[in-house]
Every structure is written in structure tokens, then in C-alpha cells.
Amino acid sequence: MNRSQQPALTLFAVGMIGLGILALIYGDFALVWQPVAAWVPGRTILAYGSGFLMVLGGIGLLFTTTAAWSARILFSYLVVWALLKVPALVVAPQIEAVWLGFGELAVLLAGGWVLFARLAALRDGSPFTFLTGEKGIRLARLFFAVSLIPIGLSHLVYVKETVEFVPAWLPYRVGWAYLTGAGQIACGLGVLFSILPRIAVWAEAGMISVFTLLVWAPAILAAPKARLPWTAFFISWAIASAAWVVAQNIAPQRPAKP
């Protein structure tokens, strides 16, 4: 990745490290992203292993000598994490909250996919080369676009719950709930159909970053020892950083030649 793309990679790495540290502290997965059912034997060991992998993978992304292997490992890990949500989609496809959870993980996976496409440096003849390079980035971008739609839709379906996350000092809180939901859907459609895609992704990344700072940072200050604010903060951070990774890898559109 070039120098201009490095900040997004660093933000993504910090998000992975933060979620990994929380898994190691609590011996559990990230609350709303529980990928393994409570009855599964050895679940706590799996949670510790997950946390250890995220911490090492995040740290590895920060160094040139280990970035390729970290990108490979984290991408594989995020694929598995997202696939573990698929059974819930099959069992309860009518519940929008299930699609929301998958959409959030899918955005995170899209960011990891872009890093994999840029950094993996697979050997010639690898069956996974189609996931790398410009073709891989293009596929990751489309996956990212589709993933935003259920996230935005959740703001419209669960307006009452969304309003509770809007800072009390903002006027017209219901309006903000509808606006952000419609905005996320519009960003997804913009990227999907190449309608100002670069602006759409930057707007989405900026929007999630604002959510992180305005909603979850104050929650941490209000209850610094509680688990939920820290988990929600790093979940939001990770999603925002994934969006920034995608944004940094969309080339500006050039005007058509006359």
C-alpha cells in the first residue's frame, strides 16, 4: 500500500487489536457478534484463541515484514466469522436485526479483503489469486456496497432504538435516525452502481467515524469499567476503519474523453 493508504491500514489494525484485547480480557466474543453458540464445548478457549489471533494479526499489519501473512490470516478469519452468521440468516431471514449483524461483519470483511488483495502477495498459480489485485478490490468494493444496505435499513426498521443512540443535545433526533439510515443505503447504492462511488464511500466512512466519537466515546467516559461501551466502541471503530480502507482504494473518476 502507498503512503496515503497507510493511515486506514493503521486504523484497521488498531480496531483488530482492540477487539482482540477485549476477547482476552473477558474470555468471550464481541457481544452482538457472537459467532459461536454458548453450548459449544470449549467456547471460552475458542474466544481466547480468537482474541490472540486478532491481536497478533493487527500488530502484524503494522510491519512490512509481516503484513502479507497478517492480511492472509485476518482475511481467512473474517471469512469464517461472517460465514458463522449465515445459519441465522437461513433460520430467521425475516428478522432485520440478523441482517444488520451480518452486514456489519461483512463491512469488516470487505476491509480485510481489500488489505488481502493489496498485501497478500500470493504465489503464482494460487487458486485464490482472483481475490487479489484490482479484480479482488473491485469484488470487495461491491461486497461492501451490498453490506451497507441492511445496516442503513436497520435505522428505518428500528427507529425507536436508533433514536436512543442519537446524542440528546441534537435536535430532531428521529429525523437523524431516518437521515443516517437513508444515507447509508444511498452510500451503498452509490458504490454499487458507480454513482460518485468515491464520495459515497468517504461519506460512509466519515458517518461511522462520527457515530464512534459521538455515541460510544462519551459512553466510555460515563462508564469506563463497563464492558458494553468498550466493545461497542471498538466494533464501531473496526467498521469505520474498514470503510476507510475501502475508501482509500477507490481511484477518483476521470472525466470521459471527448
What are the helix (H) ranges across 27-172? Answer: 43-61, 64-83, 86-91, 96-119, 133-157, 159-165
pLDDT digits (tens, 9 = 90+) for 109-163: 999 999 999 999 999 889 999 999 999 999 999 999 999 999 999 999 999 999 9
Is 60 exceeded by the pLDDT of residue 256? no
What's the CA gap between 16 and 21, in Å, rounded? 9
**Has residue 33 got a pLDDT over 80?**
no
pLDDT of residue 93: 94
The structure's pTM equals 0.93
| Residue 258, pLDDT above cutoff 60 | no
Gap between the Cα atoms of 209 and 185, Å rounded: 17
Residue given cell 470487505 in the structure block: 110
Q: What are the structural domain ranges in the chain?
A: 3-247
Read off the pLDDT of residues 45-101 as tens digits, 9 standing for 90 and up. 999 999 999 999 999 999 999 999 999 999 999 999 999 899 999 999 999 999 999
Question: Average pLDDT for residues 176-195, to the nearest whole number?
Answer: 96
